[in-house]
Structures are given as C-alpha cells and as structure tokens.
Amino acid sequence: MVTITDKAAEKVKNLMVEQGGEGKGLRVFVTGGGCAGYSYGMAFDDRSQDDLVAEAGGIQVLVDPESLPILDGATIDFIDELSGSGFTIENPNAVKTCGCGHSFTTDEEKAVHSHC
C-alpha cells in the first residue's frame, strides 16, 4: 500500500481547505508517459468502488487497482527547502528515473526513452 508522512498529510489537509477538497480523498496514480515510461499523479477525488483506501495522517489515500502494483510500498513526503518545495514519492518499484525527476521505469516496464 501507499503511505504518507505526517508532514505530507498536513500539507494535503491545508491544500484541501484552500482548494475546496474537504470530504474527498487524495488519489495517487500513475499514468503512462514521460521520459522514462510512467509519471505520478495526485488529485483530490471521491472514492470509487474499486479503490484501495488507506487512512493515513487523517486523510484517505485512494489508489486504483491498475496503479496499485506499481505504487505498492511507495511513500509520499513533502519537502520544503530553500531550493524548492513539493511532494516527493519514494517508490521501491522504480528502478530508473528520468533526469527531470518526474517519470520512472519499473522492472516490468521496458520503456523507450526519450529526452526530457
């Protein structure tokens, strides 16, 4: 399953209030594309019947059945440093990432790589 750090959960809660996402969960998913084959996505969404749901830090993390094998064991964090801030995903299933840091490849996915 996907886990979320306390710092990331707190940031998600703040964003939910700012953006009107109260009552929704944090959907975490992967899409095909990007330089290395897959890209991460996150959005506030309602729970679907097939979703795997985890309660973490007071929020619901929603993962669809297609994304779950790729995201299983991943941890979402939020960094806030002088060089920038944002959500990061540490994914044990990602064996290679693109130089831009926004896409990745797994053992099962043999992507044709392009330039970022």
**pLDDT per residue over 38-71, tens digit each?**
888 999 999 999 999 988 888 999 999 999 998 9
Question: Which is more confident, 102 or 86?
Answer: 86
| pTM of structure | 0.79
For 109, residues 6+ apart whose C-beta sits below 8 A from its C-beta are 37, 38
Percent of the chain at pLDDT exceeding 90: 43
In this prediction, residues 94-107 reach a mean pLDDT of 67
Cβ(22)–Cβ(16) below 8 Å? yes
Distance separating alpha carbons of residues 94 and 58, to the nearest angstrom: 27
What CATH number labels 3-106? 2.60.300.12
